[in-house]
């Protein structure tokens, strides 16, 4: 067993080096999971060096932002170039309306930059009634400003068809405004205002009738309100399928299961199950992993296949190990699996670490892994291997 891990460590070390170099022989593992990161919605405040020559439109908008919101010339110009259109005479009324509700200049600017359409809205007929309704339903000025500056697209929704009925539904569900506010201040919490449908209330009652805890329903309102907004019959099909797979209605994984099922066509789900079976898994073994971590099925088929290939053929893991550590199937090869496997393989080959502990090691944070498996064994880890791991971690932190 030790010789096996020694050989694996040497082989995987070469793989890691190849990734770091120009000849990426393991690029097939990494390309499918390499993501891009978008800029912050308010990064314009820090990006003055990226200014392009001002146009007449941006100059006019910048002048408006300087005089109405007190922005510096640089901030106003960057924001104006993002907004892209000139203000209208009624734009002054829009700013004045936000001011009356306690919005700061920064918050108003964020709203205009993220959703320029607001700048040209009718303050009295369109925006005013929406702000008034929210204010009268428990959204104090500070809370209102935080919610709308974080997601100004809420202001594009109909007051009668979306905002009002969804707020009333949430107040009925929580029993007070405090719960509604807490939800909407949470990241992605305003999604429910965009996805509201009349089917939400009976769908929530359906979950309650099956013994789904209130906290789990709140989770669904947060992560997948679109599923709750489905036609009652369609939602019932999702619920029944989740129960058939084996999800426990009292577990939070039941909600994650419905969320995963709702975002995937039936044939795609079956196709992913077949990927597992191609590695010798039975239907029951696949269900065991999915019930424990349904988000495994959110991965693309190719990524699932590559993950299974690595764990099956390189680490000799079977369904039992992966059912114990299903989150391993969702981890990045370049950022975590391969660098840690090199370190762990070396430690196992030297008899310093029990093979049984490596499954949990993949799930640790970088800091905890470094402390438990690197710092503690500095005298036993070759400098080349230590430098390799350090460089790989730094490359993905930078």
Residue 309 binned pLDDT confidence (cut-offs 50, 70, 90): very high
For the segment 201-211, the average pLDDT, to the nearest whole number, is 96
Element (H, E) at 103: none
Beta carbons of 246 and 287 less than 8 angstroms apart = yes
Q: Comparing 13-22, 329-338, 355-364, which segment has the lowest mean pLDDT?
A: 13-22
Q: Which residues contact 352 (CB under 8 A, 6 or more apart)?
A: 377, 380
* pLDDT (tens digit per residue) in 61-80: 888 888 888 888 888 888 88
- 380 or 298: which leads in pLDDT: 298
Tokens at 365, concatenated = 């944070």
The pLDDT value given to residue 393 = 56
The pLDDT value given to residue 394 = 53
Tokens at 361, concatenated = 């090691």
Q: How far is Cα 104 from Cα 327, in angstroms, rounded to an integer?
A: 42
Nearest C-alpha neighbor of 256 from the set 289, 228, 223, 303: 223
Q: How far is Cα 236 from Cα 256, in angstroms, rounded to an integer?
A: 15
The pLDDT value given to residue 163 = 95
The domain spans of the chain are: 265-330, 331-397
Q: How far is Cα 354 from Cα 349, in angstroms, rounded to an integer?
A: 9
* pLDDT (tens digit per residue) in 124-183: 999 999 999 999 998 987 999 999 999 999 999 999 999 999 999 999 999 888 889 999
> Sign of the C-alpha dihedral, residues 319, 325, 330, 334?
negative
The pLDDT value given to residue 41 = 39
Q: What is the mean pLDDT of the chain?
A: 83
Q: How far is Cα 190 from Cα 103, in angstroms, rounded to an integer?
A: 18
Residue 89 binned pLDDT confidence (cut-offs 50, 70, 90): confident
Strand runs (DSSP E) across 79-186, as ranges? Answer: none
The pLDDT value given to residue 81 = 84
Q: How far is CA 182 from CA 207, 221, 304, 323, in A?
A: 21, 12, 36, 35
Q: How far is Cα 247 from Cα 254, in angstroms, rounded to an integer?
A: 5
Cα 147 to its chain centre, rounded Å, is 19
Residue 392 binned pLDDT confidence (cut-offs 50, 70, 90): low
The pLDDT value given to residue 43 = 45
Q: How far is CA 33 from CA 28, 96, 337, in A?
A: 10, 46, 12
Q: How many CB atoms lie within 10 A of CB 267?
A: 8
Residue 376 binned pLDDT confidence (cut-offs 50, 70, 90): confident
DSSP, collapsed to helix, strand or coil, labels residue 240 as helix
Residue 28 binned pLDDT confidence (cut-offs 50, 70, 90): very low
Nearest C-alpha neighbor of 285 from the set 320, 261, 253: 320
Q: What whole-number percentage of the chain has pLDDT above 90?
A: 57
For the segment 314-341, the average pLDDT, to the nearest whole number, is 91
- 308 or 393: which leads in pLDDT: 308
Q: Give the pTM.
A: 0.74
The pLDDT value given to residue 390 = 73
Q: How far is Cα 54 from Cα 70, in angstroms, rounded to an integer?
A: 19
* pLDDT (tens digit per residue) in 251-260: 999 999 999 9
Beta carbons of 347 and 2 less than 8 angstroms apart = no
Beta carbons of 338 and 33 less than 8 angstroms apart = no
The pLDDT value given to residue 7 = 52
Q: Which residues contact 18 (CB under 8 A, 6 or more apart)?
A: 24, 25, 26
* pLDDT (tens digit per residue) in 220-230: 999 999 999 99
């Amino acid at each position: 067993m030790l010789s096996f891990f020694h050989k694996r460590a040497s082989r995987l070390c070469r793989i890691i080096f190849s990734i770091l170099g120009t000849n990426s022989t393991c690029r097939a593992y990494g390309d499918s999971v390499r993501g891009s990161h978008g800029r912050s919605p308010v990064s314009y405040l820090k990006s003055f060096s990226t200014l392009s020559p001002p146009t007449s439109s941006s100059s006019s908008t910048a002048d408006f932002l300087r005089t109405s919101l007190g922005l510096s010339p640089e901030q106003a110009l960057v924001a104006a170039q993002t907004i892209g259109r000139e203000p209208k005479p009624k734009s002054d009324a829009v700013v004045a309306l936000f001011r009356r509700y306690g919005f700061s200049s920064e918050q108003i600017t964020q709203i205009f930059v993220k959703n320029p359409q607001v700048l040209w809205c009718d303050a009295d007929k369109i925006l005013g009634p929406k702000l008034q309704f929210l204010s009268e339903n428990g959204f104090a000025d500070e809370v209102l400003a935080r919610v709308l500056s974080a997601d100004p697209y809420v202001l594009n929704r109909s007051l009668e068809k979306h905002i009002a009925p969804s707020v009333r539904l949430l107040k009925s569900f929580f029993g007070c405004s405090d719960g509604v506010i807490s939800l909407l201040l949470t990241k992605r919490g305003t999604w429910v205002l965009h996805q509201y449908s009349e089917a939400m209330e009976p769908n929530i009652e359906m979950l309650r009738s099956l013994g789904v805890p209130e906290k789990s329903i709140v989770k669904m309102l947060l992560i997948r309100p679109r599923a709750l907004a489905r036609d009652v019959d369609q939602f019932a099909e999702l619920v029944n399928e989740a129960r058939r797979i084996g999800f426990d209605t009292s577990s939070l994984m039941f909600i994650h299961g419905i969320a995963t099922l709702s975002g995937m066509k039936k044939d795609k789900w079956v196709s992913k199950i077949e990927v597992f079976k191609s590695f010798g898994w039975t239907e029951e073994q696949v269900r065991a992993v999915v019930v424990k971590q349904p988000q495994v099925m959110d991965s693309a088929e190719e990524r699932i296949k590559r993950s299974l290939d690595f764990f099956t053929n390189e680490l000799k893991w079977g369904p039992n190990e992966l059912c114990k550590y299903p989150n391993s199937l969702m981890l990045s090869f370049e950022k975590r699996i391969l660098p840690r496997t090199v370190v762990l393989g070396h430690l196992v080959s030297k008899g310093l670490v029990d093979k049984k502990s490596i499954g949990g090691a993949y799930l640790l944070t970088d800091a905890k892994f470094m402390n438990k498996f690197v710092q503690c064994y500095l005298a036993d880890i070759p400098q080349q291997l230590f430098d390799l791991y350090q460089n790989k971690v730094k490359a993905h932190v930078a």
